[in-house]
A and B are shown apart, each in its own frame.
Chain A
């Protein structure tokens, strides 16, 4: 079955540590996105990428980094520079024409 897989589902991080969230898709989609969602809020765009080895900052990129070495994969690193990283992180992908866009199940990150 085609889809988007995010792992892990839950992640706990100590303050000052970097953590990497995984996002893999087998839909042959070109574009991939990372969003942050805080409780009761909408989705805010962190980074997005339409082709391999190229990506753009979204609205809240500070404290985050990404890579796009393969079409199928778009990992997000939450760095120690991110002041308030506790949130729900969602990854999405869309086709070349932008007529479909699907999401992974999300990763809940908690700083302890």
Chain B
């Protein structure tokens, strides 16, 4: 069973603070992702990584950065947290499933509140 573990389930931070969200997967997947989930907007891709030290911007990268120093670990960094970054953050890793579908396995999520 693939496990994607997000280190913090709930965080409360103040505006301007630097925030680190950590994610670890244990199945040697090449691809890792950070999404945020907001009501009425579904899941939106922030960044993804297809290899160690490789990253690409998703649809909403502004205000975020990422780090992938090891294959199993993908970190999301909010350099200076703002209230509009209050959200549920979901990390995922992926393999290519039956027929070529890219099947993501998600962690349980990290709910961040920025005051």
**A, B bound:** no
